Structure 1
């Protein structure tokens, strides 16, 4: 990887990159031809002046990431180790927390190297790789991590496609193989997690503050509908916060046993809650016909989803999803509207909320809002990196 290739940035985007923008986008550079994944590239302007150095790695976001604006800085193992050490140092307080032992320790471009993340689960480290390009630096990342931390085991997930398919494998890298599920804690609540199954592990760590808020401030005595519920994490927190009943709805067959498991590892009788495998949009229609209403509805859809009859895109369809929820929310009930779509900002998201309530002839009040927790480090030069938007909305009388 000693060779560095010069790539010219289109003139209208030069200032953006000089200002610190880290993602090498398809719009920024001319035809890259057949570059080798992981090759180091120097971004230059029309006068061949150096802008930044990064690597080529195709992923859904673009063609790679800028790593340094210092032409002479070497992208070697010590570079990776410095970045990892700085990230770990910032999160020292998380390692001291007796109530939470699952969090992010390296957040891609937010910690200086786009394309991979590292999560910590009670002594286990999980690396997520998002392109073949960054994966070529596997040895640098692994050596750095081994030099910096004590661990039970290191696992990895390759989240990039090879020949159109995600690479599925056991994921074990080093240490002692885990006995799955591994039980971790978040704000005193147990989660069963798996590193040896599919792309996800069983819990999305970026919703930690939202789950705690639901438990501590909103759930007591309430009926709660958790849509796109995955493994039921929001339902578990609601139940532990004293919800009178939770209803979890997700289309995936695996959501039923996974949700039962998350209830069970917290000593909750899952049979006193409803866990439904069904298309969320079908369920809204069913609830409307039956006259069902809920005190709290949690909306946390994927940015894009497809079922047999519906295609959902957060940017196009979130407003209508909100309208479905408003129709079955009790007066003075709360809708927790969440999206992880990076294609629009909080201002636009609040616009969807406002339009949905107006079209539903309902009034509302925003109670509070959340973005990423602080272990999910972001940088102001890359606003898309702060993708999470969560708004607690009260449906008012009248």
Structure 2
């Protein structure tokens, strides 16, 4: 009887250990979407990214490891200090397991540093700087939708090939703008072009006249807009007032997405060349996803929205495969698992946390070419992921052996 009792106790202990191993650490899985919901990037990601995250949870079944999945969200107002305070509160007191989206590079860098300190996962879909998977990389940090190198290779490379071999940059005065300007400059120079000058402007500028006049007087064939969101839209509108494109100079919107084209309108945006990691009207699968997203938001998704859906989905798959939401185990799975969904087809994750996937070189259609609402792009080329992104071994990340 004693032997049977010992055996029974051992069996119960083993069973309880197995149950604990296949469970969330606090009885739930909680994901935070932290982004700009009221400022210059509100259309770029904003509340629509929150909807994309919620869509991913619902499509996954609402649970993982038999516990509910909860999405929380907050507006960081493009301020790293506000974002840092929210991230610390989420991680320390609200049991948030992972933070995602993180529009604005300065914010993403700040939150990733906190995640590294606290051993918590972040997956960036809204910010662009390559530092996230370079000198500021983290074993728990992942960069999903795009980055400044991919934009430089796509838009910058296309325009140099078309004869745009002299550039002047109009650059947002923070980490994202600097990175985008540098990456594109390096690519232009390596392709035989030259950079004749640059000027920096504050985030959320209303008046670009002095900056545009400097760009116009430079005589550069291409004016590279190393900014995003409403800053890019406002610069394009004001450039038209100065007759810059009519004078023969080409505007390169280095980070411009479907959301901004819709806000600007085809009449003003026609002919612009840009690079995205997703286009809703590419094939039947992307159209089906986009129409589902449209039913919830009243808009078609850009790469940030689709990338957020992908990031949440992949995180939940990693939790499921790991059998726990414990950070080290989930991060290991995120590094090892292939990515194959409506956004990241055939994607892989490098040792530096960079998700490598194809990008698309797009040109905005003329109004007469558009066949239906939101039909805004011609796909000029597919840029293979290995060309679009920096080789992890050359990224400057100290995690890469």
TM-score by length of 1: 0.37
Higher share in helix: 2
* Structure with the higher fraction of residues in strand conformation: 1
Higher RCO (CA 8 Å, separation ≥ 6 residues) = 2
